[in-house]
Structure 1
Amino acid sequence: MKNFSKISLLVSDLSSAAILRAYLIATALRTLEYEVEIMGFLFGNNLYRNLPSELKVYNLPGKNFPEFFGEINKFLPKVNGDIIYAIKPQIASFGVALLKKIFSHKPLVLDIDDWELSWYGGDGWHYCPTPKQLARELLKPDGALRNPYHPLYVKWMEGLVSQADAVTVHTKFLQQRFGGTFVPNGKDTSLFDPTRYDPESSRNRYGLSEYRILMFPGAPRPYKGLEDVLIALDKINQPDLRLVIVGGSPYDDYDRQLQQKWGRWIIKLPKYPADVMPDLVAAAHIVVVPQRDTPETRAQFPLKLTDGMAMAKPVLSTRVGDIPKILGNTGYLVEPACPEQIAEQIQLIFQDLDAANQQGIKARERCVEHYSIEAMASALKSVIAQL
């Protein structure tokens, strides 16, 4: 077998959540004793999340075409891993990786953690411009085709998936669509270890001690179903229940809209560094992941599930995509977009919280076995062995 020692992870936009999957893959690869560098373009102002200093992160500014060609030109010589590992089938990661492969003949792995085209209507999306529109979108300074994230380029990249030497995915939906090896989103179960935290102290620390806490440790978006939880809280109408949202939305003002309508049930906490998250999740009585059923969500592996599982919390989620498979029999499942069922489950959990916490302990055992960094590393080891 060829001896690889260094892996270059290419991220399309380091200011987006794509960096989280890259970080998990990098962490798993480092447990296999590979040297790992994370590289990519910064289309926003800052890194989406600051990564531990031992992980080298190299970035160049993301620009629109044609200036972006110049940035790619500067970027290619810096990619010097023995394996190129592109995160997402985007021009700024997979496109750049394909160029590097052509010039260097190095093996290329592509990770697909979302069905990118689903954001634009999926298979139904087609680009059929008039000649005049095409000229305008290519030539005007703000023309749509100047943007490297235009769905036309996503469609091209998805059409080139077979050019990768290996593909990794994290849900069955993506595996059926693109093939490849299942590599779960691993959790650092030694950091997310409930024996290291005291829930009561955590609740005190974040000003939550007088409430029964439903926690959503992530950014609200309409398809994530938080409205369904808030409608459920309206139905239950018990004054000590609160939905704690950690981090808020970097994308739009959706969390402000939720606050305006359901502010009495919401406690909003700021974004915290990754190593503080277990202490926050320890404060929850229930972790809620109420995904709605959309083409986007069917392709996703919500990281919030394994936050709750690793911390041995009762996890309340919906029957969407891989969620039932991820939770096994260890969580509480309802139909998507069904506030009545959510209300019923919340009340059942609090009626016998001890039994629910026992379910949480089983969820942690399942997480350690199937969704730890070690489980992720084991899957990656077999991918690299085949290169």
Structure 2
Amino acid sequence: MNENKKPDLKVSILAPNFCKGGIVRAYLLGKVFQKLNYDVEILGFLFGENVYPEAPHDLSVFYLEGCNYPEFFGASKKLLNKIKGDIVCAVKPKPTSYGVALMDKIFHHRPLILDIDDWELSWYGGDEWQYRPNFKQLARDVLKQEGALRNPEHPLYIKWMESSIKHADAVVAHTQFLLNRFGGNYLPNGKDTDLFDPDKYDPQISRENNGLSDYRVLMFPGAPRPHKGLEDVLMALDLLNEPDLRLVIVGGNPYDNYDEKLKERWGKWIITLPPQSVEEMPSVVSAAHVVVVPSRDTAIAWAQFPLKLTDGMAMAKPILATRVGDIPTILNDTGYLINPSSPEEIAENIQLIFQDLEAANHRGKMARERCIKYYSLNTMATTVSQIVSSL
């Protein structure tokens, strides 16, 4: 792409929350559209104290403070007036993104792409979830100041959004599970493999800068959640009981206190690093000896394409991951695959990796080659270009 060429068109990407909750995917899509010479703006709401992670410096962002109904109607109107794109791309089928995009489609008739990076209803029990209140409960949920239905994230609204997916002009999803459920085009989570380039970073310097020089580092560059299987890694460290092994968690958990519960039980094995910007993350990942992606066998995990998987692949790290969802297909023999919820297998493979770290690092180099071929921004841009052409 000619960097000096005037952008062809403008795309407005609607993120549901500038504090996690899809913002990383929005940044990634922004980079993809820039590859296609689009002018990009990312808009949405901030439900939280701070934007996390911070936006790449070359992406334009605008957000409003998140709020509940009925104030959310007015906030949505303000956001609608800020949308300037020729195309609108909504991340996640949520009222805070796709709901606003559907209103824009009604009023301004702009083409709408829906990006699905998770099965949102799976967090509430999936197809088993029902909302069947009696009259009094419904009145409380609607009328009380803290009523459940005042929250735009209520699963009832998510269910409505999922039933409205057919109104998007194009749908993209990043796992086979999501494609089977919602249809659309396959657009997995890629990585900026020029930014995430191991030759640009010195692992030893990164370990020194982050206080990790004395340790063999198992890194999880994401938010701890029960379905992500970090408890299994920590139980494996208990089994091994080798004093220089550490699980390094980058960024912590902005959703609840789950990471604090992990520290209460396994604090001696855990080191936490503060939140990192997109540009800072490659340097931090370079400090890892091994990247761990120990997802458990749940519907939530099956629906997700773990971003930390391509973090590790792009940085040519040995990857220890479970046979859950698309993970085996993504790695395709370039990592160490184990069964989910198996601390014993994790322990065995940690020993295997460190017994022959040279062989493990060779697998990491193969993983980077695979990431460049199948999960780079260029590969994503080819798919997106075809989708936009078909609108």
TM range (shorter): over 0.9
Alignment of 1:56 with 2:60, yes or no, is: yes
**Retained in 1: the 8 A contact 2:27–2:56?**
no
For this pair of structures, how many residues does the alignment match?
385
Alignment of 1:68 with 2:72, yes or no, is: yes
Q: Equivalent of 1:118, from 116, 122, 125?
A: 122
Alignment of 1:350 with 2:364, yes or no, is: no
State the partner residue of 2:112: 108
Deviations 1:197-251 (A, max 9, x none): 2222222222212211111111111111111011111111111111111111122
Question: How far did 1:71 drift?
Answer: 1.2
Alignment of 1:268 with 2:268, yes or no, is: no
**Retained in 1: the 8 A contact 2:193–2:314?**
yes
State the partner residue of 2:141: 137
**Retained in 2: the 8 A contact 1:4–1:83?**
no
Question: How far did 1:12 drift?
Answer: 1.6
State the partner residue of 2:14: 10
Alignment of 1:368 with 2:372, yes or no, is: yes
Question: How far did 1:342 drift?
Answer: 0.4
Alignment of 1:89 with 2:89, yes or no, is: no
Identity %: 61
Distance (Å, rounded) in 2 between the aligned partners of 1:322 and 1:130: 41
3-state SS of 2:34 partner: helix
Distance (Å, rounded) in 2 between the aligned partners of 1:300 and 1:229: 19
Deviations 1:305-341 (A, max 9, x none): 0111111110000011111111111010111110010
State the partner residue of 1:328: 332
3-state SS of 2:337 partner: strand
**Retained in 1: the 8 A contact 2:42–2:62?**
yes
**Retained in 1: the 8 A contact 2:8–2:37?**
no
Distance (Å, rounded) in 2 between the aligned partners of 1:306 and 1:212: 21
**Retained in 2: the 8 A contact 1:244–1:267?**
yes
Deviations 1:234-281 (A, max 9, x none): 111111111111111122222222222112211222122221211111
Q: Equivalent of 1:154, from 144, 154, 158?
A: 158
State the partner residue of 1:192: 196
State the partner residue of 1:79: 83
**Retained in 2: the 8 A contact 1:9–1:84?**
yes
Code of the residue aligned with 1:73 in structure 2: it is K
What does 1:206-285 correspond to in 2, within 5 Å? 206-285=210-289
Alignment of 1:28 with 2:32, yes or no, is: yes
Distance (Å, rounded) in 1 between the aligned partners of 2:272 and 2:109: 49
State the partner residue of 2:172: 168
Distance change >3 Å, CA 276–CA 4, structure 1 → 2: closer
Question: How far did 1:52 drift?
Answer: 2.4
After superposing the two structures, state which structure 1 stretch, 136-145 or 262-271, moved more: 262-271
Code of the residue aligned with 1:89 in structure 2: it is P
Question: How far did 1:4 drift?
Answer: 6.5
Code of the residue aligned with 1:321 in structure 2: it is G
Structure 1 residue ranges (4+ consecutive) displaced by more than 6 angstroms after TM superposition: none
State the partner residue of 2:4: none
What does 1:310-329 correspond to in 2, within 5 Å? 310-329=314-333
Question: How far did 1:14 drift?
Answer: 1.6
Deviations 1:88-141 (A, max 9, x none): 101111111111111111111100100000011001111111111111111111
Code of the residue aligned with 1:249 in structure 2: it is N
**Retained in 1: the 8 A contact 2:56–2:278?**
no
Deviations 1:340-363 (A, max 9, x none): 100111111111111111100100
TM-score by length of 1: 0.97
Distance (Å, rounded) in 2 between the aligned partners of 1:347 and 1:341: 10
Distance (Å, rounded) in 2 between the aligned partners of 1:169 and 1:4: 25
Deviations 1:8-63 (A, max 9, x none): 11112222331100000000100100011101112222212221232111112221
TM-score by length of 2: 0.96
Question: 5+ unaligned residues in a row in structure 1: which ranges?
Answer: none
Deviations 1:126-177 (A, max 9, x none): 1111111111111111111111111000000000101000001110100110
Question: 5+ unaligned residues in a row in structure 2: which ranges?
Answer: 1-6
Code of the residue aligned with 2:297 in structure 1: it is D
Distance (Å, rounded) in 2 between the aligned partners of 1:125 and 1:49: 31
3-state SS of 2:67 partner: coil
Code of the residue aligned with 2:187 in structure 1: it is V
Code of the residue aligned with 2:321 in structure 1: it is S
Code of the residue aligned with 1:67 in structure 2: it is E
3-state SS of 1:291 partner: coil
Code of the residue aligned with 1:229 in structure 2: it is V
State the partner residue of 1:177: 181
Code of the residue aligned with 1:49 in structure 2: it is P
Distance (Å, rounded) in 1 between the aligned partners of 2:166 and 2:202: 48
**Retained in 2: the 8 A contact 1:17–1:48?**
no
Alpha-carbon RMSD? 1.3
3-state SS of 1:16 partner: coil
Code of the residue aligned with 1:242 in structure 2: it is R
